[in-house]
Amino acid sequence: MLPKRNKMKSVRARPLEAEAVHGIGARKDAETQLAQMQGKYRGLLEALRASEAKFRRIIESAPDAMVISDLNGRILLINAETERLFGYSREELVGQAVELLIPERFRGTHPGHRDRYAANPRTRSMGEGLQLFGLRKDNTEFPVEISLSPIETPEGTLISSAIRDITARKEAQEALRHREALERRALELKRSNDDLQQFAYIAAHDLQEPLRMVASYTQLLAKRYKGRLDSDADEFIAYAVDGAHRMQRLIGDLLAYCRVGTTGNDFRETSSEAALEQALLNLQSAIQESGGAVTHDPLPVVIADSIQLVQLFQNLVGNAIKYRSAESPRVHVSAGKNGAMEWIFSIRDNGLGIDPQYFEKIFGMFQRLHGRDEFSGTGIGLTVCKKIAERHGGRMWVESEPGKGSTFYFALPERG
Ligand code: ADP
């Protein structure tokens, strides 16, 4: 028993001490626990603060305007891009309804859309297929694209809207549409031009044969019956012969015009000086008859269809000789490069000159400033020249002063 009593005694004897010891221990435990909990809580709080700061930083540095709102559409948080895009300061926006940022005509329906989104919040773009607009503080509108995502927080679901200004993209799309429409029209125009050219070519070609018959038989009539019928008949037959010849020239020129586009040769390195020499050779008798002189500077090698280049020089120098004034014709051909990587050729004469009001007109088909009785011609020569220049990627124009002479220019791209 003793031991038991002893034990009891000791048990009974210990409580005060033990309790004291135990109390201290427990408090210490509790304190440590508390300290640990406080540490943990502090850590959690810091982590929370850090993650909130991180969240704000992410929102802040987003390339889009970010607007965080509650399910009632009240703005809670915005970033710098929102301030920049909409022209409001943070203070002006936080606490306001998101409808402030949309044009008035959409405001009526917006809360309904918002409620539907709140009922089924998920990440998606707003108003798919619709054209959305933002409204700046200065009341101007701009096209936008908006992505919505729900953010779950202990206080409930928030809505994050990423708003992107798509003005530049819209403008680029518009420019592309415009360019495509232009290209389509150019293609249609080219097609109808090609058709027309084809038609003109066939018609002119097929007309040649019966015309040759008319020309040769009227000529035969003139030869055989001149002076055998009355004077009226001689006159009428002469008109018929002249008419047939004129029509032959017209058809020949028309065919030459059609051939520029259809039967041209490839572009090769071509000496423009050699082309001019060839043209002068072809014009030799006309130049000699006129008592004129054609001079030229050294001329460059260009990328061209050599036959068409000869034709170009021949028409221009031929005109310079044909449309001469009372002075004997002086024609000078030269070429120089301009900044835009082109060779500019000029054919200068001292002839009749052209009134500036006709500078454009003379390049049109059948356009003539002189009557047939003054100068022969069909009014197609310059049209052919212009078409040749354009086929080479170049252009043509004229400068002139009536009574002083004219300078015809054509530009050819240096690289063909
Ligand atoms: P054509 O010589 O057959 O009439 P073109 O197309 O070559 O046809 O010329 C059109 C018109 O331009 C001519 O009728 C003439 O009135 C005018 N023209 C052309 N070249 C010259 C020039 N060098 N000087 C003055 N007028 C010119």
What are the structure tokens assigned to 50, written together?
């850090």
Residue of 369, 372, 375 to test ligand 1 pocket, by largest number of atoms within 8 Å of CB: 369
- Asked if 237 and 222 touch (Cβ cutoff 8 Å), the reply is yes
Q: Does ligand 1 come within 6 angstroms of the Cβ of 354?
A: yes
Residue 406 near ligand 1, beta carbon < 6 Å: yes
Q: Which residue has better confidence, 149 or 127?
A: 149
Task: Kindly state if the Cβ of 93 falls inside 6 Å of ligand 1.
Answer: no
Give pLDDT tens digits for 390-411. Answer: 999 999 999 999 999 999 999 9
Question: Residues 130, 40: contact at Cβ < 8 Å?
Answer: no
- Encoding tokens for residue 129? 């297929």
CA angle 344-349-354, nearest 5°? 95
300 CA to centre of ligand 1 in angstroms: 26
Spatial CA neighbour of 315 closest among 256, 355, 267: 256
Here the tokens at position 377 are 């011609």
Give, for ligand 1, the residue of 368, 372, 385, 408 to mutate: max count of ligand atoms closer than 8 Å to Cβ.
Answer: 368
pLDDT at 121 over 80: yes
pLDDT at 254 over 90: no
Mean pLDDT, the chain, whole residue set: 89
pLDDT number for residue 11: 46
What pLDDT is stored for residue 20 in this prediction? 65
- Half-sphere exposure (Cβ direction) of 111: Cα atoms closer than 13 Å: 5
337 vs 8, higher pLDDT: 337
Q: How far is the CA of 377 from the centre of ligand 1 (A)?
A: 8
Residues 6+ apart with CB under 8 A from 246: 372, 378
6 falls in which pLDDT band (50, 70, 90)? very low
Give the pLDDT confidence of 359-380 residue by residue, as tens digits. Answer: 999 999 889 898 888 888 889 9
pLDDT (0 to 100) of residue 51? 82
Report the pLDDT averaged over residues 237-248.
92
Q: Report which protein residue has its CA nearest ligand 1's atom 19.
A: 319
Indicate the burial class of 106 (C-beta count within 10 angstroms; 0-12, 13-18, 19 or more). middle
Q: Is the dihedral of CA 398, 399, 402, 403 positive or negative?
A: negative
Ligand 1 centre and the CA of 192: distance in Å?
28
Say which residues have a Cβ less than 8 Å from residue 219's Cβ, sequence separation at least 6: 241, 244
* Atom of ligand 1 lying closest to residue 369 CA: 16
- Which residues, in sequence order, are CB contacts of 348 under 8 Å at separation 6+? 331, 332, 333, 334, 405, 406, 407
Between the alpha carbon of residue 415 and those of residues 68, 246, 309, 386, 395, the distances in Å are: 59, 40, 15, 19, 15
Fill in the amino acid letter for 105: R
What is the pLDDT averaged over residues 186-207? 85
Cβ neighbours around 117 below 10 Å, total: 16
Whole-number pLDDT of residue 38: 85
Q: Retrieve residue 124's tokens.
A: 């998606």
Centre of ligand 1 from the C-alpha of residue 370, in Å: 8
362 lines ligand 1 (CB under 6 A): yes
